[in-house]
Each structure stands twice: as C-alpha cells, then as structure tokens.
Chains A and B, each alone.
Chain A
Amino acid sequence: MSLQLDFPAVLERWPSFLAGAVLTLELAAFATVLGALLGTLAAVGRGTHNSLIAGACKIYVETIRNTPLLVQIFLVYFGLASLGLKFSAFTVAVTALTINVGAYTAEIMRAGFEAIPRGQIEAAEGLALSRLQIYWHIILLPAVEKVYPALTSQFVLLMLASSVCSQISAEELTAVANYIQSDTYRAFETYIIVAVLYVILSLVMRAGFWGLGLVLFPRRRRLGTPL
C-alpha cells in the first residue's frame, strides 16, 4: 500500500470546485425557498376541514418521506421527459429537491401549527380577522419560531442531499468532483477536498440561518432569549 497524497495537483482545479460549490448553494437556495412555500401550503392543507385536500396533502407527504430522493429525482427527470418536456438538469434538480424538502417542511410546520395555543386563534377570531389573516399574522411567524432549529437543520440536510443531483449531471459540487477525480486519478484527495467544502457550506448555511433568525424574530433579539 502506497499512501502518497498529492493535494496541490487537485487543488489547482480550484475554479471548478468553486463553480460547483456556487451551483450547490444555488440549488439549495432555490429548493429551500420553494420547498418552504410548498411545505407550508401542504401543512395548511393538512389542517383544513376539506378531507379531499387534507388527504391529498397527507399522501404527498407520506409518499415523499418514504421513498429515496435518488428515485424521486429519476422519476422527475424521466417523468418530464416522457411528457415530452425538455428542461435543463438544473431545473429538474430544483424541481425534485423542492418536492422532496416540501414534504419534510410540511411535517415540521404542522408540528409548529399544532403548538400554537387555541386561545391565540380565538383571540384573532374575536377581532374579526379572516382565516387567511389569522394564518398570516398570528400563526405563521410564531409557528416558524417554534420549529426554527428543526426547519433550518432540514434545509442544511437538503443542501447536502443535493449531491445526488450529480446523477442527472447537474454540474454541482459532487459532479465536479467526479469529473476531476476521473481526470486526475486523485480520487481520495478530490473527495477529501469536496467533503471539506461541504462542511464549510453547511457552516455557512447555519450562520446564515442564525442571522436570518435575528431578523425574523425581533422579540427574541430584544428579550435576549436564545434561538
């Protein structure tokens, strides 16, 4: 066994690594925003009295949570293709990741909604606010605040899981790594570097969510309650 590591040979490809990391962040950002929207809607849907909507939302959540992301990505990829629709790998990746993280978000948000005391909703109803206004002004922010750690962890996991998109040749960080290692024959060094980059990306995301929390929850900032 000869253990001769040559990091410089791989590191000189840094522009490619950087481009891959940027694309990974872009994928994660799009899917996080869209998935948060989709998931919140699905959580609201599961709470409605309309059993058709509630049932559909439940089926969506359970189907996604009980199948692998890799299978979901291929299904979206070939599903769109069989409909005769041609999209870029990036669009397919964002679509699949959004559908995936939306289901997890829905479960987390549902827990958040359920944690809102009944009296809050009655007080809002007593002030003549509409159903939609109650969700928007009274329930949403406190619910997000209650599940913020779980929610943001899920979004970091999503960023890491986006590495699977390399399998439909989206040019994100893992795909870049696959390409560089086959080019340089330095697999071990390449994947070590990529692993470090992912760790950095997840730290960056956590820091970002911490900062966002300060903006979203001014009460906590003022009262000094930890997030």
Chain B
Amino acid sequence: MQQNSSSEPIVSLRNVRKSFGPLVVLDGVSFAVERGEVLALIGRSGSGKSTALRCIDRFEKVDDGEIVVCGHRVDRPDVDLRALRQDVGIVFQSYNLFPHLTIEQNITLAPCAVKGMATAEAKDLARKVLVQVGLEEKLHAYPEQLSGGQQQRAAIARSLAMQPKVMLFDEVTSALDPELTAEVLKVIEQLAADGMTMVMVTHEMGFAKGIADRIVFMHRGKVHETGPASILTSPTTPELTQFVGTGNLKS
C-alpha cells in the first residue's frame, strides 16, 4: 500500500467529544488518515464508530475537539459545508439513490448543479464511473429496477463522479445478503488498489483485514486499540480479543 509521508493527513480528529443528550457517544476520539490510506473503523454497535464517521462529513456537529478534513476545519461553525462535501464522498448503508432519477441522472446531477459541468461532459463521466463499478448497462435504469448490490455500486459511482479526495463508507454492505456483499466489496477493493483514500465503518472483519492499512477499534466512545490489520489476529486488549473472538472474523 502506498503511503505519502510528505503531506498533512487528509483527515484528522483530535480529542473529539460528542453527546446525544446525556449519552456520551464520542469521548475524546483521535485518529488520522494519510493520503492513499484505507482506514477501517470497527467496534460493536453503539461504540460510536458511525458517529465518528458522520462527524468527518459534518452530518453530526461535535461538542468539542478538532476535526480537519482536506484543510477544512470541520469543527468550526463557519466551515464551508459545500466546499467540504465536494472534497469528501460518502456512501450510506441504505444507498439513498434518488428514486425519481435514472442512474445516469443520479450521477450527473451533482457535477452539473454543483460544479457547473456541461451536460455532455457529465454524461461521459457517468459512463466512466459506471464502468468502474461494472454497471455501464444500467445507465438508463431507475434505482428500483436494480438489486441492492447494484444500487450500492451505483451509489459509489455517484460519489466517485464528484472526484472526492477521500471517501467515507458507512456500513455499506449491512443491508445486503452475502452474495451481493461480495460484488460491492470487490468494487471497494479496486478503489483501494487505485489509491483512493478511504474511511470505512464495517462489520466485515475478513474484508477489513484484507484491505485496511490501519484498523481503529472503538469501544464505549473511545479509540480502544489501533494498529495495522494484524491486530485483528493478535489483539492486545481483552475487548478486541473478545470482539474478534465472537465469530466476527469470518470469510
């Protein structure tokens, strides 16, 4: 895997805190993602991993701490959200394709509306990113005509069309059965091989182990253990031992 030591990290969280009412979700979380790095956030449900990911794209506001993403100070109230979100792509568990638009229109919408790209150019781009996820024949289909796995690949293509500097994946295979999961993971693997910087929340331990440069294991709103993918096979804390030991390390 390529590492770029010369520049600043693309994403960095420093001592981030966040509560929903009395419930502390993030209790001083810090980690950084270098250019070209693939980081997997793992942990039990409720450990705060999804919230941490959503804070990066400012779908949640943090109470305290510092978040810098591609030079944007995300923790500040005056952050330019639209500039931030042009640099960051996000893919959700429930795909969230726009049902009234064809796959092509789903993809071309943001490049045209946000970047002012010409329609013809955007259509070429749509074809290109769909080839990347292996869905070129679905250009003119509507989302509901696609399987779950195809919808998720189309959602990835939609994100790619904005040419983001970092991509966030929020449990993107949790709604899919194993067969469809595989086709989505293959697409993400290819992205990693192409050098895309990625942060992913995942339950697929085998996949995380195979693809991630670094693992961040979260427990009770804290980064409990972090290190290369090998920590999954030789964990040092009892919590991670228990987590990977309970059958999470499959496939």
Contact = CB atoms under 8 A, between A and B. Distances in A.
Indicate yes or no for A touching B, C-beta below 8 A: yes
Interface of A: 117, 119-120, 122-130, 133, 137-138, 141-142, 145, 217, 219, 222-223
Given A119-B92, A122-B92, A137-B109, A127 B158 contact: yes
B98 A128 contact: no
Interface of B: 57, 59, 81-86, 88-90, 92, 94, 96-100, 109-110, 113-114, 142, 144-145, 155, 158-159, 162
A133 B109 CA distance: 10
14 contacts: A120-B96, A123-B98, A126-B89, A126-B90, A127-B158, A127-B162, A128-B81, A128-B85, A129-B109, A130-B82, A137-B113, A142-B99, A219-B100, A223-B142
A125 B82 CA distance: 8
Contacts of B110: 127-129
A220 B85 CA distance: 32
Contact of B113 (A117, A120, A129, A141): A129
B92 A127 contact: no
Contacts of B92: 119, 122-123, 126
A130 B155 CA distance: 19
Nearest to B111: A127
Contacts of A145: 100
Nearest to B155: A123
A117 B98 CA distance: 10
CB-CB nearest 10 A-B residue pairs: A123-B96, A127-B110, A128-B85, A119-B96, A126-B90, A128-B86, A128-B82, A128-B114, A219-B142, A142-B100
Contacts of B94: 119
Contacts of A128: 81-86, 110, 114, 162
Given A133-B113, A137-B109, A137-B113, A125 B98 contact: no
A219 B99 contact: yes
Nearest to A138: B98
A122 B86 CA distance: 14
Contacts of B97: 123
Contacts of A129: 109-110, 113-114
A206 B85 CA distance: 43
Nearest to A121: B96
Contact of A120 (B90, B98, B114): B98
User: Could you say which of A123, A129, A222 has the most chain B C-beta atoms within 10 Å of its C-beta?
Assistant: A123
A127 B109 contact: yes
A151 B15 CA distance: 51
A117 to B, nearest CB: 8
Nearest to B54: A122
Contacts of A125: 59, 81, 85
User: Could you say which of B88, B100, B110, B155 has the most chain A C-beta atoms within 10 Å of its C-beta?
Assistant: B100
